[in-house]
Amino acid sequence: MTVLVTGASGFVGCHLVEALLQRGIPLRVAQRQGTDKSPHRKVGVVNLSGAGYSPDDWDGAVSGCNVVVHLAARAHVLRDVSVSPQHAFERANVDFALACAGAAAKSGVRRFIFMSSAGVHGGASGKRPINADDDFLAHTLYAQSKAVAERKLADAVRGTGMELTVLRPPLVYGAGAPGNFGALVRAVSAGWPLPLGSVTGNQRSFVSIDNLVSLIVTCLDHPAAANRRFLVSDGEDCSTADFLRRMSAAMGRQARLLPFPVGWLATGAKLLGKQDMFQSLCGSFQLDISQTRQVIGWSPPYTLDEGLQRCFVTKS
């Protein structure tokens, strides 16, 4: 089995490539011409013959591969300067993926693993945890582009013989993680006071990078993963305040959590137009991964506390 990884220079990609190397699984990574971002000196790098938006650009990359893990995506854009952010997300997260999948199907690739997002189901879990069969309710441009990509990929691979496996993670944390987790780590490290001490009534799902990589590796060749969609998490939910306390404990520090009433935070977020940020910190977002456990027999190898501890272990 030979695996092609796209987005190998990203946070998830770097960890996945390292895991595949440790397991002795033959692999290569794909990148655009003129870029030299891959930190993996032991891995063969294939340059695309074009920008990556045409299946022909991917012919050399997918040739001879059995599995493609498509991680390349546009995400964590804090200050978007694109003329059309929606077009930019769709170009990177939909068109790029479709071109890769089209070339893979034509080349005889057996399985295409697409990294989506639990955000396709919206930003809140409501009265019960979200399951993989729930409707799409994506409300951010990133999540909307992932939902569109999922639908179009399903149509594109139908009848080709290539299997499609979709993974939908929540917030992914780990050493060097970008986005919200990285911002929280910096805030705790700097000793900044955070007005989240009273955010104890919500419940959120998280997934450590090690647990996510474990699921990807399981899906490479598990027969039951063919043409399935899986939610993934650590299998243990907690409140925002609890997560911050456990994270700071793993860092060997004490988080400065101020007990601001959640109602005050909601009002402030509304006045500042930061409702999405409020929801991501104070709302509930629980995932039901029982289907993932049952279908492929996968369970998170690390608990939430173990995953957090692994974020801050200094490697010799």
pLDDT of residue 41: 65
Query: Is pLDDT above 80 for 64?
Result: yes
Domain range for 35 is 3-174+206-233+286-301
Average pLDDT for 253-263: 94
Rounded percentage of the chain residues whose pLDDT exceeds 70 = 94
pTM of the model: 0.95
pLDDT of residue 261: 95
Residue range 11-37, pLDDT digits in tens: 999 999 999 999 999 999 999 876 655
In this structure, is residue 309 part of a structural domain? no
Q: Are residues 120 and 186 in the same domain?
A: no
In this structure, is residue 158 part of a structural domain? yes
pLDDT of residue 34: 64
Average pLDDT for 73-77: 80
Structure tokens at 307: 């995953």
Residue 103 near residue 53 (C-beta atoms within 8 A): no
pLDDT of residue 40: 64
64 vs 40, which has greater pLDDT?
Answer: 64
Q: Are residues 135 and 196 in the same domain?
A: no
pLDDT of residue 126: 87
173 is catalytic: no
Query: What is the count of structural domains for the chain?
Result: 2
pLDDT of residue 179: 86
Residue range 174-222, pLDDT digits in tens: 999 988 899 999 999 999 999 999 999 999 999 999 999 999 999 999 9
pLDDT of residue 42: 72
In this structure, is residue 307 part of a structural domain? no
What are the distances in angstroms from CA 43 to CA 29, 46, 112, 301? 7, 10, 20, 26
pLDDT of residue 316: 45
Structure tokens at 79: 């200050």
With left for phi above 0 and alpha for psi between -120 and 50, is residue 179 left, alpha or beta? left
Q: Are residues 192 and 295 in the same domain?
A: no
Q: Are residues 221 and 276 in the same domain?
A: no
CATH number reported for the structural domain that contains residue 115 in this entry? 3.40.50.720
pLDDT of residue 231: 98
Rounded percentage of the chain residues whose pLDDT exceeds 90 = 86
With left for phi above 0 and alpha for psi between -120 and 50, is residue 75 left, alpha or beta? beta
Residue range 144-182, pLDDT digits in tens: 999 999 999 999 999 999 999 999 999 999 999 988 899
Q: Are residues 122 and 268 in the same domain?
A: no
Query: Is pLDDT above 70 for 268?
Result: yes
Q: Are residues 95 and 192 in the same domain?
A: no
Q: Are residues 18 and 153 in the same domain?
A: yes
Judged by average pLDDT, the poorest of 107-111, 176-180, 213-217, 293-297 is: 176-180
Q: What is the DSSP letter of 102?
A: H
Query: Is pLDDT above 90 for 284?
Result: yes
CA 253 to chain centre: 27
Q: Are residues 218 and 101 in the same domain?
A: yes
Catalytic residue among 53, 142, 173, 302: 142
pLDDT of residue 162: 98
In this structure, is residue 313 part of a structural domain? no
Q: Are residues 186 and 213 in the same domain?
A: no
Residue 10 near residue 35 (C-beta atoms within 8 A): no
Q: Are residues 72 and 126 in the same domain?
A: yes
* pLDDT band, residue 292 (cuts 50/70/90): very high
* pLDDT band, residue 39 (cuts 50/70/90): low
Give the residues across from 20 on adjacent strands. Answer: none
pLDDT of residue 84: 86
76 contacts: CB under 8 Å, gap ≥ 6: 178, 179
Q: Are residues 127 and 217 in the same domain?
A: yes
Q: Are residues 115 and 254 in the same domain?
A: no
pLDDT of residue 80: 61
Average pLDDT, the chain: 93
